[in-house]
Structure formats: C-alpha cells, structure tokens
Amino acid sequence: MRIRIPKGQLFVNASIDSSHGCHPNMRGHGAGLISISKDGHGGTIHCESTKLSLNTKSTAETELVTMSDYASQALYIGGFLTEQGYPNVQVILEQDNESTIALVRKGRSTAKATRHIAIRYFWLHDRLVRGDFELLHVAGTEIRADLLTKDLRGAAFSNCRLKINNWE
C-alpha cells in the first residue's frame, strides 16, 4: 500500500488535544493526529499519544505543552513536502482550548494564572507570526485527537473513529 499525495494545494492538518491531571501522579496526557489532504479531510498518517513529562497547573497549560510537542512534527511534515517539490503546502493546527489559542496568538502570558508558564512553550507564536501555520479553533466534540485522550464510548467513539479514518 502506498500513500498517494495529490497535486495542487495540500493541507497538513494536526489535531492536538490533551487531558489535564488524568494520571495517578496528576500529570496530563497529550495526543496528536496528523493528516495530509487536498481538501483538509485526509486520512491519518501519523498519530501519537503520551503522558506529559511534567506536571502542569491548568488545562490551558497542558494544552500549550502538548501543542508545543506535537506542532513540531506537523511543521516538519509540511517542510518535507515543500522540499519534495509540492507547492502550496499549508499547515493547520487544530485546537479546542480557546485559552491556549489566545496564549499562542499573544506570545506571552497576560494573566496572573499563567505567568509561571516557561517561555520555551511560546516558540509557536513566532512561527504563527511568520505564517508557518494557521491556528484553527475546533469544537471540543469535533476534535479528532479526542479518541486518544478521552474515554469515549458509544456514538462519540464511533463518530471520532470515522473522522480519524476519513470514513465520513
């Protein structure tokens, strides 16, 4: 079986999600799914789900750390496709936490609750300003990485599985 990459505009979609404080030692859990497509709805080519290596104080911080970890893989795939001669490769990071999106767009903490977050997680702001990726808010019920971070059952599990495999 081969991966066939279509001609023209390509989208590298990274669906990134996390769960805060879900492990016995109160660490978070992060996951990312990456797909390549012509219309933004391709099948998954890379997925990863891991426990975070550090404790975080809030859901927004957990999501920011997870985004920092998984965005580099999406940007790498986008750069690889560009170097292979595919023009018009657009990387899109999907995030369901609006506070995390605000932190990335501002590039720094502006609230007392997030002042402690290390500057190393704000490299995404520089890449966003450069235009290396587009940041897209996706509703919590629609984000594909939910399957890797939450205990989904019934219809929620079936719907998420359909999205991940592009069977809709």
pLDDT one-digit tens code per residue, 122-164: 788 888 999 999 988 887 677 776 666 666 677 777 776 666 6
Predicted TM-score (pTM) of the model is 0.75
- Answer yes or no: are the C-beta atoms of 69 and 93 closer than 8 Å: no
Query: With the C-alpha atoms ordered 100, 102, 104, 109, is the resulting torsion angle positive or negative?
Result: negative
67-86 pLDDT, tens digit each? 888 888 989 999 998 898 88
* CA–CA separation, 72 and 108 (whole Å): 19
Residue 36 pLDDT class (50, 70, 90 cuts): confident
Query: With the C-alpha atoms ordered 90, 41, 62, 23, is the resulting torsion angle positive or negative?
Result: negative
Q: What is the DSSP string of 38-64?
A: SSS-PPEEEEEEEE-SS--SSHHHHHH
